[in-house]
Amino acid sequence: MSEVLPANQALRAWVQAVADHTQPKRIHYCTGSEAERAAIERELVAAGTLLALDPKVHPGSFLARSDPSDVARTEHLTFISTEHAVDAGPNNNWMSEADANKRVWPLFAGAMKGRTLYVVPYVMGPAGSGFSRVGVEITDSPYVVLNMRIMTRMGKVALDQLGNSDTFVRGLHSLGDLSPDRRFIVHFPQRREIWSIGSGYGGNALLSKKCHALRIASVQAREEGWLAEHMLILGLTSAEGRTHYVAAAFPSACGKTNLAMLVPSLPGWKVDTVGDDICWMQPGADGRLWAVNPEYGMFGVAPGTSLKTNPNAMHSLSHDVIFTNVALREGQRAWWEGMSKLDDHEVLQDWRGAAWRPGSTTTAAHPNSRFTVALRQCPSTTDTYELSTGVPISAIIFGGRRSKLAPLVYEARSWRHGVYVGATMVSETTAAATGAVGVPRNDPMAMLPFCGYNMGDYFGHWLNLEKKLTRAPKIFHVNWFRTGDDGRFLWPGFGDNVRVLKWILERVDGTATAQDAAIGLVPQRDAIDVRGLDLSSDQLFQLLAVDGGAWLQEAGRALEFLGRFGQRLPAALLDEHASLVKRLHDSLH
């Protein structure tokens, strides 16, 4: 690998300062070239860190196994460091700068001894676009470098965009000793800096993703009048040829990737996948909200992904993939729960590398096992994710995993009501973060773990944005996960979700009807296109039902949650809350 030193003095000075402290054996500035990728892969395969998969079944693909204590984001070890704790808000763990300097900085001392320090410049957003921002991650993990090369526009393209500017987000990452006792992910939003030590796992270590594109960018977005959101972006073209773009926020592992690349069950409808996880949106001169996906790849949850549930994801995975913590079938083939049937007597290697047999009480793949793959490999992408103008957003969708209560879909009455709907979102927890699974938790705009500042101020920022939007997107809430009395899902989901998107876009176009329910506008039963679906009218009734009494209790819990933001909570949200409660009471009389 030939060394190319960038001209940017600020970058070189920072790298030198980090190297003086971390003491790597050598420094490598990444170019993003093919030769560089191949060299790192060879090195990792030789070291046993990557396992090459069957080149016929998985050309160019590898399996990585992470330390068993390092398999998900660790929210309790993730901190925001601001001068005053109140600016980080009750939604974040706060650490003073003095504390970070005392507790975290010393962990980096000599941490890269014997290792290579990689300098990874990257662009978030289409290169040269007014939306895009440059970051540089310093890391001692070659696995991180390979992932960053897929997830971002990495190397020379970023240095070219940066030029001599010193306004890049600085991310410092070291594996440290991988001990959870010495694991910290600390963000300094004011100086646009991130320190991450002790974890090699995706969201903790690929600093472009949650750390930069959400936590740091959300602060920057507020200062500059835009939004950095945990949302997929998709374009939907109707059978008649009308295209709308929507952005949708769901908590981690609630099907964002599936929805982003859905194969519509309605004939003639088409989906264009623009992004599957993160969305940066700016008001345009035309009063609409325009969006780009800052990422270049997907870091998707593997379990549950199959040709049936997400054929586009499966086709994306046909080559050049990094799998993390999936299981191995004989012949070096990747496998995970829900992917395909196994033979009864087959013996696999589980995600730790131990022998595993079908029927075992443990899972073969880790529930949060992942695939890293370039977005361009997805059959449902076009060139829209490369558009420097972004795409105009017609609808914003919030969603959660709710087995009860929330109807399949409803529309907010106004932007302000939509912000209230987003702010009071609740979802049942998943395996994407450590902790108990299946517990309802408030997750405003699916941003609770990712908003880099006090969410009271964040709600205020959302409310203020309306002033710049003469053609604001309509806001909706969906729930694919409602269950009937027998505990089974009422809605088929997956490709049939297009039926709900269809209603949403018809609402945007003003052609679909809705009935005024206390919580918002709910489709009339005949407004959802269920032709060809095996769905009884009783099931549809249950899917769309609004139980006023249960919603009143929910509203009580929502108020308690919003109360956590105290003085920082915008009064407009309390007004929305009072109106909702009044409508609910009225509906019960």
- Sites of contact with ligand OXD (CB under 6 A): 73, 202-203, 252, 277, 299, 432
| Catalytic residue ranges | 254
Beta bridge partners of 292: 280
DSSP letter, residue 502: H
Which of Mn ion, ligand OXD, none does residue 87 bind to, with CB < 5 to 8 Å depending on kind? Answer: none
Residue of minimal Cβ distance to ligand OXD: 252
Give the type of residue at 22: T
Name which of Mn ion, ligand OXD, none residue 78 binds, using a CB cut-off of 5 to 8 Å depending on partner kind: none
Name the phi and psi angles at 231, rounded to 5: -135, 145
Compute the least distance from the CB of residue 432 to Mn ion, in Å: 7
Residue 293 is encoded by which pair of tokens?
A: 């996906």
Residue 203: name its binding partner from Mn ion, ligand OXD, none (Cβ under 5 to 8 Å by kind). ligand OXD
How far, CA to CA in Å, does 142 sit from each of 49, 61, 105, 206, 291?
A: 10, 15, 22, 11, 31
Q: DSSP character for 473?
A: P
Identify what 272 binds: Mn ion, ligand OXD, none; CB under 5 to 8 Å per kind: none
Tell me how far apart the alpha carbons of residues 528 and 512 are, in angstroms, rounded to a whole number.
Answer: 9
User: How far, in whole angstroms, is CA 486 from its chain's centroid?
Assistant: 32
| 570 binds, options Mn ion, ligand OXD, none, Cβ within 5 to 8 A by partner type | none
CA dihedral of 17, 18, 19, 24, whole degrees rounded to 10:
170
CA atoms of 5 and 511, how far apart (whole Å) = 58
The distance of closest approach from Cβ of residue 342 to ligand OXD in the complex, given in angstroms and rounded to an integer, is 27
Contact residues toward Mn ion (CB under 5 A) are 252, 277
Least Å distance between CB 8 and Mn ion? 31
For Mn ion, which is the closer residue by CB, 279 or 580?
279
What are the residue ranges of helices labelled H in 357-477? 415-423, 455-465
CA distance 147 to 542: 43
CA distances from 417 to 230, 413, 431 (A): 20, 6, 30
Pick 262 or 521: Cβ nearer ligand OXD = 262
**Partner in contact with 171, chosen from ligand OXD, Mn ion, none, beta carbon below 5 to 8 Å by kind:** none
Q: What is the closest distance, in whole angstroms, from the C-beta atom of residue 367 to Mn ion in the complex?
A: 15
- Minimum distance from CB of 182 to ligand OXD (Å)? 22
Shortest distance, position 339 Cβ to ligand OXD, whole Å: 19
Q: Could you say which DSSP state residue 82 is in?
A: -
Q: Which is nearer to ligand OXD, 73 or 401 (CB)?
A: 73
Q: Which does 432 bind (CB under 5 to 8 A by kind): ligand OXD, Mn ion, none?
A: ligand OXD
> Nearest to Mn ion by Cβ — which residue?
277
Query: Rounded to whole angstroms, how far apart are CA atoms 349 and 347?
Result: 7
CA 201 vs CA 69, 225, 408: distances in Å: 10, 32, 34
Calculate the dihedral angle through the C-alpha atoms of 286, 247, 251, 223, rounding to the nearest 10 degrees: -20
Is 73 or 244 the residue whose CB approaches ligand OXD more closely?
73
- Of 299 and 371, nearer to ligand OXD (C-beta) is 299
Paired tokens of 565: 């933001």
Within 364-482, where are the H helices?
415-423, 455-465
Nearer to Mn ion, 149 or 230 (CB): 230
- Do residues 327 and 378 lie in contact, with contact meaning Cβ atoms separated by under 8 Å? no
Nearer to ligand OXD, 205 or 517 (CB): 205
Cβ closer to ligand OXD: 198 or 449? 449
Which among 438, 439, 459 has a CA at the least distance from the CA of 448? 459
C-alpha of 313 from chain center: 16
Pick between residue 205 and residue 419 the one whose CB is nearest to ligand OXD: 205
Amino acid in the structure at residue 176: G
d(CA 91, CA 444): 10
Tally of CB atoms within 10 A around 346: 13
By a kind-dependent CB cut-off of 5 to 8 A, residue 73 interacts, out of Mn ion, ligand OXD, none, with ligand OXD
Q: Measured between alpha carbons, how far is 387 from 426 in angstroms, rounded to an integer?
A: 33
**List of residues 6+ apart from 489 with CB closer than 8 A:** 480, 481, 482, 483
Q: Two tokens at 60?
A: 């160019």
- When the beta carbons of 192 and 210 are compared against Mn ion, the nearer one is 210
Output the six-digit token pair for 341.
Answer: 């049937």
Smallest gap from residue 227 Cβ to ligand OXD (A): 17
**Largest Cα–Cα distance of the chain, in whole Å?**
76
Closest CB 251 distance from Mn ion, rounded Å: 8
Q: How far is the CB of 414 from ligand OXD (least distance, A)?
A: 29
Pick from 399, 458, 408: nearest CA to 427: 399
**Min CB(449)–Mn ion separation in Å:** 9
Instruction: Give the Cα separation of 340 and 302 in Å (integer).
Output: 12
